Chains A and B, each alone.
Chain A
Amino acid sequence: MIQLEAVTKVFQSGRGEIRALDNVSLSVEASRFVAVMGKSGSGKSTLLNCIGGLESPDKGTVTCFGTPINSLTARELSLFQRRHVGFVFQQGNLLSYLSVAQNIGFPLSLNGIGGSRRSKRIDELLDRIGLPAVAKALPHELSSGETQRVAIARAIAHNPKMVLADEPTANLDTATGQQAVGLMRDMGRDHGCTIILATHDNEITEIADTVFGLKDGRIYKEED
C-alpha cells in the first residue's frame, strides 16, 4: 500500500510561493492502476515525484509498502528506488548513449541481474513491447511511440512494486498513447505492480481502477 498523509510541497519562484501540494492525503492499494487527473500546474508531477522520492515534501509523510521514504537516507532511498520503483517520463527520457537493449538492461544491472538472465529478460520485454528488431538502435533512432514503449519496458524490467508514469502520453497521438497505456496496464497487471499515472487525458480514466482528481494542489475527487 502507498499512503500519503498531509503532504505539502511549496516552491519559491519569481511569481512568489507556489503551493504544488496542499495537505494531500491518499491511499493506494497494491497492484492497482491509478490515474491522477488534473490540468497543467495542478500538482500531478509533484505528487508522483514525492511518492517516488524524486523530491521530498515540506510537510507530511509518504509511506510506500511499509517504508517511510521521506525519512530514508540518500543511499537508502536510492536502493529503495532501484529495487521497488520504475519511472516513465513524459518524453521517455532514455539514456541517449545506451542502445534500446542497454536502456532496458540498466535497471536490471543496477539490481545485480546480469548475464543470460538479463539478456533473456531484455528479449522477453522487447517481444512484449513489439520491438524485437530495435534492440541495438539508439534512442534518437526511435519514434516517440517506440521511445515510450521502451521507457515502459525499462520501468518494468526489474519487476518493481510500483511504476510512476508522468504524462507518458503527452507527446503521443491518441491511438499510440492508448496503446502505450494499455501496454503499461497489462504489464503491470502481469507482475502485480501498482501503477500511478498522471494525465489530463479523460479517456485514460476509463481503464483506471482508481482516479484521483487534483486541482491547485488538492485532491478534489476520488473515484473507484
Chain B
Amino acid sequence: MKSEGFGFWARIALLFLVRSGRSTASLSIMMISAVAALIFLSALAVGVNDAMLRNTVGLFSGHITGYGISPSVQPEDFKVKGVEGVLKRVYIPGILSHGRLDRPMTLCGIDPRSETNLTALRKKMVSGGYPQNGRAELMISKTLAQEFDVQMGAALVFVSEQPRTALKLTVSGIYQTQIDPLRRDIVFCPLNVMPARDLPWSAAVFLQRGRAVQEILDAYGQKWSHQYRFESWETRMPDLRQLIDLEYISMGIVIILVFGVVAVGIACAFVIFILKNIREYGIMKAMGVTQREMSLLIVMKVGLMNVMACGVGLLMGVAAVWAVIGSGGIDLTAFTSYNRYFSVSGVIYPRLTAFSLWAPPVTAFLFSLISALWPAALLARRQPADIIRMI
C-alpha cells in the first residue's frame, strides 16, 4: 500500500501551526518584525546614498558633464530618453575685481530660467536671486561677498584675456554653500550678456530618477560618435563614489550583523518550537512515521510558517517605507547641515530595491530551515522510546 505524500504532510503541518495558535503567533510576530525591520533598514541605506547623490549632483553639476561642445549644437540635442534636462554653461577664466581688490575667477554664463528649474542652487540664496536674462547681473557666493565686502547692488568688474573683454556686473544674488569650488572659484551671469557667444560650451545633464548614468553615456557615444567628451559624476567626484561604496559596505555589515542576531533568535525560537512537542514526534515515530517523513513534516512546519511570516513581514516593511515616503521622508537636516553631501536637503527617502526586498525574507527563511536541522537530526537519531521519555 502506498502511504500519503506531500499533501498529507503539508496538511498535518498546517493543522499543527493553526492549532498551536499562540506559539505560532508569537514566533510569527518575531519573524514578521525582523523581516519588516530589515527591509526598512536596507531601504534606508539605499535612501541615504540616494540623498547624498541627489544633493551633490542636484545642487549644480548634474549627473553627466559634457565638454567642448560646439556653439552650433543646442542643449535639446542632448535630450535622449532618460534625460530630465540639459543646461548650457559657458566658462571664461579671468579676474574679478572690486575697488583695489581682485581675484582670479571663472565667469559662468547660464540660462537663469533653466538653471532655476533643474538645479537646487536657488535654495541656497541668502539675498536676491538669479541674474535676469539680458541684464548685466552677477550671482556670487556669500564667501566672495564677504571677501570683496560687497552687498546686493554692488558693481564688480570682470576682465578676461580670452576673449579680451571687460564687463561691469551688478550683484543680483548671493548664495551660501559649503562646496568649495562654488564658494571661491566661480560667479554666474546670464549667457546673453557674456562677452562672446560663439565659445564652446559645457553641458550639465540631469537624469530622471533611477536612470543609469552608463545608459545615457552609451546613448551619447552612439549619437555623437565620441565627438565630445562626457564624464559621469562618478569620474568627476570619486570621493562621493567611494563614500557611497563605503556606505553600502558598512550598511551591508550592519545588516549582516542584524541578520545574524535576528537569525540566531529565530533559530533558537524554532528549536524551542519543535522541541516543545518532541513527545508527539516520538508518538508518531512509534506509529511508523519514517525519518524522511518526520524531516519533511518539520521542514513543512518551518517552511509554511516562514512563508506566511515572511510574506506579512515583506508587506509591512514595504508599507513602512511607503509610509515614510508619504510623510515626507526622514528629515535629518539638523544632523547634516555641515555636511557637503547634504548641502541642499537632509531629507532621506528610503528606497526599495530588489536586494532589500528579497534578502531579508530569504535569509530569515534559510536560517529557519537550518535551525530545523538540529531537531530533525535529534529525532532521526533517537529511538522512539527515548523521545517519548524526554519530557
Query: Would A74 and B291 be within 8 Å (CB), given that A55-B386, A97-B16, A109-B3 are in contact?
Result: yes
Interface residue from B16, B280, B283, B285 paired with A78 (Cβ < 8 Å): B285
Chain B residues with CB below 8 A from A75, complex form: 290-292
- Whether B19 sits at the interface, judged by CB under 8 Å, is yes
Instruction: Give the Cβ gap from B387 to chain A, nearest Cβ, in Å.
Output: 9
Sorting the interface of chain A by its residue count into under 10, 10 to 19, 20 to 34 or 35 or more gives 20 to 34
B291 touches A78 (CB 8 A): yes
- Whether A107 sits at the interface, judged by CB under 8 Å, is yes
Main secondary structure of the interface of B (DSSP, over half): helix
Complex Cα–Cα for A110 and B288 (A): 8
Query: Would A87 and B286 be within 8 Å (CB), given that A54-B384, A112-B2 are in contact?
Result: yes
- Whether B261 sits at the interface, judged by CB under 8 Å, is no
Query: Would A102 and B383 be within 8 Å (CB), given that A78-B290, A95-B283 are in contact?
Result: no
Query: Would A81 and B288 be within 8 Å (CB), given that A95-B283, A97-B20 are in contact?
Result: yes
Query: Would A102 and B283 be within 8 Å (CB), given that A78-B288, A112-B3 are in contact?
Result: no
**A residues 108-134 touching B (CB-CB < 8 Å):** 109-114
B288 touches A80 (CB 8 A): yes
Chain A residues with CB below 8 A from B383, complex form: 54-56
Complex Cα–Cα for A39 and B21 (A): 40
Interface residue from A56, A80, A110 paired with B3 (Cβ < 8 Å): A110
Chain B residues with CB below 8 A from A97, complex form: 15-16, 18-20
B283 touches A112 (CB 8 A): no
A107 touches B287 (CB 8 A): yes
- Whether A28 sits at the interface, judged by CB under 8 Å, is no
Chain B residues with CB below 8 A from A200, complex form: none
Complex Cα–Cα for A185 and B383 (A): 28
Q: What are 9 of the A-B contact pairs (CB < 8 Å)?
A: A78-B285, A78-B290, A80-B288, A82-B3, A87-B287, A93-B280, A93-B388, A95-B284, A112-B1
Apart from A79-B288, A107-B288: 12 A-B pairs, beta carbons within 8 A:
A55-B384, A56-B383, A74-B290, A78-B290, A89-B388, A93-B280, A96-B277, A97-B16, A97-B18, A97-B19, A98-B12, A110-B288
